[in-house]
Amino acid sequence: MTPRSVTAVHLAQEALRVITDELRTADRTRETGGILLGHHVHDTVTVQHAGTPGPEAVQTSTYFLRDRAHAQTLADHAYAQDHSVWIGEWHTHPTSRPVPSSRDAATYHQLLNDPELAFHSFIAVIVGPRGPHWNITAWTCQNNTITQVALHGLQHQSRHW
Ligand SMILES: [Zn+2]
């Protein structure tokens, strides 16, 4: 069965905790992020696990590239735990709005067009500053278009940022 187009992303508490822990301690002069692992059912992606950058990640003020070996270890662990698969990536924009940059879009399209990865769609969670807090947005990339989608699961922790 072909999964339907994604219209909503749900962040499980465990995934949200990893992201908020990373945001609390992150150096705000450079991007940070990690992979997202979970399940795509009907039109919703549930993110069960979020990764940390890893020791070999490339982190500049305008660019983030995951640590591939670190990501693979996380992916193996998540699959063993609940059959989560790689469904996307999260990263910060410390100095700009939380919308995909042209470089982000190029990266996502490259991943989507890789037949070995066999992505149906790719989920991007992008985090940007909102005053002293963070604004978290979710995007789906499919058929060479990127669309913002609803993001659920933030209610419990949002007041603590
Ligand atoms: Zn970006």
User: Residue 89: which H helix or E strand, with range?
Assistant: strand 85-92
pLDDT tens-digit profile of 14-61? 999 999 999 998 888 999 999 999 999 999 999 999 999 999 999 999
Residues whose CB is under 5 A from ligand 1 (ion)? 101, 104
Give the number of domains in the chain: 1
In a domain, 161, yes or no: no
In a domain, 3, yes or no: no
CA of 114 to the centre of ligand 1 (A): 20
Which residue would you say has higher pLDDT here, 107 or 132?
Answer: 107
CA of 27 to the centre of ligand 1 (A): 16
CA of 94 to the centre of ligand 1 (A): 9
pLDDT tens-digit profile of 112-152? 999 998 888 999 999 998 888 899 999 999 988 999 999 99
In a domain, 150, yes or no: yes
In a domain, 2, yes or no: no
In a domain, 16, yes or no: yes
The CATH number of the domain where 35 resides is what? 3.40.140.10
Q: How far apart are CA 136 and CA 128, in angstroms?
A: 7
3-class state of residue 73 by DSSP: helix
In a domain, 102, yes or no: yes
Residue 154 is predicted with a pLDDT of: 80
What is the span of the domain harbouring residue 142?
8-156
